[in-house]
Amino acid sequence: MANLNGFDANTVEPADDLEPIPSGKYVAVITDSEMKPTKSGTGNYLQLTFQIVEGEYANRLLWVRLNLDNPNATAVEIARRELSAICRSVGVLVPTDSADLHNLLCVIHVRVKRRNDTGELQNEVKGYSKKDAVSQPIAASQVSGTDDQSGSPPWKR
């Protein structure tokens, strides 16, 4: 059990039902990255969290998993090629840490697919490209909203 003393649902807007977003291209940034063990325990994958930063779906999150450490050489090759596409889309060709890819604008190509196990619809990132303008770093404190009185998102200032 967890202590919820002090929480009042009357003071917090409830979470929206998060249906998949429509297929399309969205301006986004990587806000988090973490190496995690595979379910089988025989390797590790890099999980990247992308946050959409413009338009109707601003602040929505999508996750990408890259099997960079896996006994299956084909899975590793696919992951390395996808990581190369991500690096090129954010303009960091030789990262020393996954954090080097954080808070840089890129365009993610999203599609909707049906899960094999449940039949539910879900989003999948299927491609990456550079934002039209040169990718500029965005302060981490600016990613999740606005921090000034202008009301405009930080990436549009």
Encode pLDDT of 3-27 as tens digits.
888 889 999 888 776 789 999 999 9
Amino acid, res. 31: T
Which pLDDT score is estimated for 149? 46
**Radius of gyration from C-alpha coordinates of the chain:** 18
Strands (E), the chain: 24-37, 44-52, 61-69, 106-114, 121-129
Domain assignment present for 139: no
Q: Is residue 121 part of a domain?
A: yes
Q: Residue 28: which CATH number? A: 2.40.50
Q: Has residue 123 been placed in a domain? A: yes
pLDDT at 147: 44
Residue 53 lies in a domain: yes
Q: What's the DSSP call for residue 18? A: -
Q: Give this prediction's pTM.
A: 0.77
Total domains in the chain come to: 1
Q: 50: helix, coil or strand?
A: strand
pLDDT tens digit sequence for 15-64: 776 789 999 999 999 999 999 999 999 999 999 999 999 999 999 999 99
Asked whether residue 138 is domain-assigned, the answer is: no
Mean pLDDT of the chain: 86
pLDDT of 14: 83
Q: How far apart are CA 83 and CA 117, in angstroms?
A: 27
Choose among 105, 133, 92, 128: nearest CA to 31: 105
Residue 145 lies in a domain: no
Q: What is the residue range of 105's domain?
A: 18-133
Indicate whether 9 belongs to any domain.
no
Would residue 98 count as lying in a domain? yes
